[in-house]
């Protein structure tokens, strides 16, 4: 893998809305925003940018 480049995560509206029977799906869609701060720091030395 080359150094540098952007990572642009996308999250659907389902991570912010709740509905009956969708607990597991909502948790999976809500995970990316929760890990973005760490994800932004780990590849930073290699010039990879993570935009929230």
Q: How confident is the model at residue 36, as a pLDDT? A: 83
* Model pLDDT for residues 13-48, shown as the tens digit of each residue: 555 666 788 788 777 777 777 788 888 888 889 998
Two tokens at 49?
């940018």
Distance, CA of 40 to CA of 52 (rounded, Å): 9
Which ranges of the chain does DSSP label H, i.e. alpha helix? 23-41
Q: How confident is the model at residue 32, as a pLDDT? A: 77
Distance, CA of 26 to CA of 2 (rounded, Å): 33
């Amino acid at each position: 893998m080359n150094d540098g480049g952007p990572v642009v995560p996308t999250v659907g509206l389902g991570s912010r809305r709740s509905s009956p029977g969708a607990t597991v799906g909502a948790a999976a869609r809500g995970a990316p925003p929760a890990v973005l701060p760490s994800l932004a720091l780990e590849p930073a030395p290699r010039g990879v940018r993570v935009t929230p």
